[in-house]
Amino acid sequence: MSRAVKIFWRIFFGGFASFILFLLLCNWGVFGAMPSIDDIQNPSASLSSQVYAQDGSLMGKYFLEDRVNVDFKDISPNIVNALIATEDERFRNHSGIDLRAIGRAVRGLGRDGGASTITMQTAKNLFTDEWSTRNFLKRGVQKIKESIIAVKLEKNFTKDEIVALYLNSVEYSEHVFGIRNAAKTFFNKEPDRVNIEEAAMLVGMVNAPYLYNPKKFPKNALERRNLVLDQMKKNGYLTLEKTDSLKSSPIDLSHYKKLDETNGLGPYFRSVLGEDLKKWCEEHKKSNGDKYNLYKDGLKIYTTINPKMQLYAEEAVAKHMSYMQKILNQQQNIRDKSVWKGYENVIEAAIKHSDRWANCKKDGMSDSETRKTFNQKTQMKIFAWNSKREKDTVMTPYDSVMYCKQMMQAAFMAMDPVSGEVRAWVGGIDFKNFKWKYDDG
């Protein structure tokens, strides 16, 4: 054997041994923590806690990421087919890593599609931190770690379970996490009721949730949905005629509704309840000894609020306070702003507690520079007694602070006199704009 050949084989086997050692070091957590077998067998993601009224209807949620898990059997085949056709068409045939996809990605430098499988993306969503980093070397190590975790996921879960894990962990548009919340938010449907074109839109979002947001960029969302439909046709899930028919239909968001802290039933009540629940979480522990987390542990909270009584209470407060505010606004000292003479310190204190003040300070502006911005007229939305509870106007931020301070407030509570159970609770005129609470504090 010639000297050159010996050198070649030494380099080859040395490189191969180094690669194997690198994989082992990644698996052992040398280049960053890796999930244990127990973590992989019991994957966890942040789940929103849900608040229910007396009749079992959903009032609202507490969350960092708005997510509620759902089993594979409760996910429409339309969603599953759209996902596999778009993200990983050989999903059923590989063991977590698709060598053909890797070869295609290397050959085309990523222009012809990536190499990540659904399993690798699930590993990224559940176990990889800072996956959006632009550091090439760091992302390369993360890709190796994702591949190792993907192989372990394939050994511990069925293909159907991996699909459910992916759909439950991924982010959709509007900062909604998980397929159940996405289906409920955009179509007011459970995920097992989603039709083909709705499934295509939901799956299309996950590639770029902001860019394919159907509320903000309907044209982008429609084009992406139709691309997913084409992929479903290509992979045999749809006929040509059915695909063409579905592509001609518009995106229907007539049932769109997103639950957050500012809407839903009884937002003031939920705000006060949340403070009590935080104390409960501090005093109670899970089976593993950790304290409960209101925003991550998917708690189900059942209350005594009667939905009909709550709605009547909110309507009664709105009707009465809009009338009272109209009378107040007719007073001369309100119209000429003389009511604030001698109380300018109240307005100044409110200015320094405003979001505008905080944002200006964050941008490095001095106090005097920040204060000047409050005397410059600007377009803004302010609270108004109309159906939307807001209106567009032009005024100075200083005037807007005075305007808000002049809004009359009210509280309302209805209680069962025998049991002491609270049936209705209103803590103010509009939680979105006036988040303070009326309680015994």
95-99, 220-224, 303-307: least confident range: 95-99
Asked whether the predicted pLDDT for residue 440 surpasses 60, the reply is: no
The CA-atom distances, in angstroms, between 115 and each of 34, 129, 206 are 21, 19, 16
Are 113 and 207 in contact, with CB atoms under 8 Å apart? no
Which pLDDT score is estimated for 322?
Answer: 96
Q: Per-residue pLDDT tens for 143-198?
A: 777 778 888 888 888 999 999 999 998 889 888 889 999 999 999 999 999 999 99
Structure tokens at 276: 């009590």
Predicted TM-score (pTM) above 0.85: no
Domain boundaries, the chain: 1-30, 37-66+259-303, 67-115+157-247, 308-343+375-441
Query: Pairing between strand 391-395 and 176-177?
Result: unpaired
Q: Give the CATH fold of the 67-115+157-247 domain.
A: Penicillin binding protein transpeptidase fold (1.10.3810)
Q: Are 425 and 410 in contact (CB under 8 A)?
A: no
Structure tokens at 45: 């993601």
pLDDT tens-digit series, residues 247-276: 999 999 999 988 766 778 999 999 999 999
Please give the average per-residue pLDDT across 203-217, as a whole number. 92
What per-residue confidence (pLDDT) applies to 123? Answer: 83
Q: Which residue has the higher pLDDT, 204 or 169?
A: 204
CB-based burial, 57-93: b 16+ in 10 Å, e otherwise? eebbbbbebbbbbbebeebbebbbbbbbbbbbeebee
Neighbours of 265 (CB within 10 A): 21
From edge to edge, which strands make up the β-sheet containing 300-302? Answer: 58-62, 49-52, 300-302
